[in-house]
Amino acid sequence: MSTNYSKKTNWGQFVPLVTVFFFWGFVAASNDILIPVFKKAFNLSQSQSQLVSVAFYVAYTVGSLIYMFISKAIKQDVVNKIGYKNGLIVGLLISAAGTLLFYPAANMGSFPLMISGLFIVGLGFSLQQIVANPLAIEVGPTETGSQRLTMAGGINNFGTTIGPLIVSFAIFGSASAANTEASIESVKVPYLILGAAFVLVAILLKFSSLPKVTPTITEDTEDAVPGEHR
């Protein structure tokens, strides 16, 4: 018989994991703050400034395709190979690497480099999303997995709500997205701080007891044993 029903939610595992959901909402919503800033700083047209959002969300699709092609190349699911916990850590570090590009991009006044940084952040998020949902189910009883996913979704929405306020205050000195009087230099520090947060959570996850695989993988292995009684 499965022991999932007697297992309690491991909050020590769930809290650092759910932080990743917060990041997704925080960054996605904050990108809208960057659009008017980039438009003015780089003298962009409206369509060009929308590349901020396009680059970020296209990265999700590209990341999924990269994941699929690597899995096909090695003839094994790449996340199963490195482990779900390690996959989440790698995704955070990829996103952190993307935020590092904001520093030279701001110093050089390079819009393509800024967009590249956002694209890499999105690539990291793509990998994180592949592994975070199954892990949210694994850190507690299976029957309450949907409740944990709902809670994680609420944390994501919270990030979406406060992200623009915090980033506006960090860039403009006030929580107003309408103010675009900011130099491109003011963008780099908030995103470097965000990158440091990615690294910090990755370190916390590294030393956490998060499982390396999902229940599905475990159950498939058990199902493969003939004559096993549950």
- Residue written as tokens 């690294």? 199
Q: How many Cα atoms within 13 Å fall on the side-chain side of residue 229?
A: 0
Q: How many Cα atoms within 13 Å fall on the side-chain side of residue 76?
A: 7
CATH class of 20-219: mainly alpha
* Amino acid letter for position 89: I
Instruction: Quote the pTM value.
Output: 0.81
* Amino acid letter for position 189: V
Per-residue pLDDT of 13-44, as tens digits, reads 788 888 999 999 999 888 888 888 888 888 88
Percent above pLDDT 90 for the chain:
33
Per-residue pLDDT of 129-180, as tens digits, reads 988 888 888 887 888 878 888 899 999 999 999 988 888 888 876 445 455 5
- Residue 63 has phi, psi (to 5 degrees) of -60, -40
Maximum alpha-carbon separation in the chain: 70
pLDDT of residue 133: 85
